Structure 1
Amino acid sequence: MCGKIRLVQPDEVEIWLGFVKQVWTSNPAHLREGFLGQQFPYEFLYWRGGKALAWLSLSIRKEYVEGCTSFPTAYLEGISVLPEVRQQGIARELLAFARQWAKDQGCLQLASDCSLENELSQAFHHRNGFCEVSRTVHYILNVD
């Protein structure tokens, strides 16, 4: 039941956006422009039966990453599986791919994050061996 994981191609940007909008709150037009401008070089789609069923976003962070002890660090920026195909092991396949990708990039650790209220994502991380290293609440004060 394995699918094929491959880099997102420029002509697949709308498919990519469909997944990304489920996870990231950024303006879709800015995301599209960023993707086409190659600001997201490690974007992958999971294909099976000619249909994209899931998305995976990875990066390499060279700056400090909370809780990490080695640099650079591979980073799981986003992951999403279509609701109708969840609980079929696709996210585990994507995570296995991400782990191997991180090793291939010379990274010793794969980091990730999610919002405090995203209990589904937290459960996914815990189920798949991630160790929670901190919790944060961010604030802003306008100074105008």
Structure 2
Amino acid sequence: MEHTIQMVQPDEVEIWLGFAKQIWSSDREKLRTGFLSNPFPYEFLYWRGGKALAWLSLSIRKEYVEGCSSLPIAYLEGISVLPEARRQGIARELLAFARQWAKDHDCLQLASDCSLENELSQAFHHRSGFREVGRTVHYILNVD
């Protein structure tokens, strides 16, 4: 069955939110407002049979990214495939799309990250050829 990978349109924001909320912990309204005001300019949906089965979020970073040797850096901000559509090669297709997108935007590397406890994402990155370049734990102290 034919599929397409297309940029998310404003009238598809609810579909986008369904995927984005699985990955990002931000408030739903904050994400919606952010999308509609365009700080997420490189958002894509994978469509097949009239249904969005997966989502891909990309960015271009112009500041240092751990482990990278060139600038700018294409960054895989998020990727998600609906559970019923997994193990069909969709994530692999999205990654191939992301690699070509990076080349088209004059980036020599594609970077990504995930949380330490997200073993599913870590396995995906390793299977996809990403090389782990570091692990971090973040802290915060209120100074009130």
Relative to the length of structure 1, the TM-score reads: 0.99
Q: What CA deviation, in whole Å up to 9, does each residue of 1:76-99 have, x standing for no partner?
A: 000000000100000000000000
Q: What CA deviation, in whole Å up to 9, does each residue of 1:73-129 have, x standing for no partner?
A: 000000000000100000000000000000000000000000000000000000000
Structure 2 letter corresponding to 1:142: N
Name stretches of at least 5 consecutive residues in structure 2 with no aligned partner: none
RMSD: 0.7
2:80 aligned counterpart, secondary structure: strand
Which residue number in structure 1 is paired with residue 44 of structure 2?
44
Hey, which bits of structure 1, 4+ residues long, moved more than 2 A?
A: none
Matched, 1:74 2:74: yes
- 5 Å-filtered alignment, 1:1-144, equals 1=1, 3-144=3-144
Number of equivalenced pairs: 144
Q: Percent identity?
A: 82
State how far apart, in whole Å, the 1-side matches of 2:24 and 2:38 are.
17
Instruction: Point out the more displaced range, 1-10 or 96-105.
Output: 1-10
State how far apart, in whole Å, the 2-side matches of 1:118 and 1:6 are.
27
1:74 aligned counterpart, secondary structure: strand
CA pair 76-60 structure 1, distance change in 2 beyond 3 A: same
| Alpha-carbon distance, 1:3 to partner | 1.9
State how far apart, in whole Å, the 2-side matches of 1:52 and 1:106 are.
28
| Alpha-carbon distance, 1:2 to partner | 5.3
State how far apart, in whole Å, the 1-side matches of 2:2 and 2:79 are.
17
State how far apart, in whole Å, the 2-side matches of 1:116 and 1:2 are.
36
Name stretches of at least 5 consecutive residues in structure 1 with no aligned partner: none
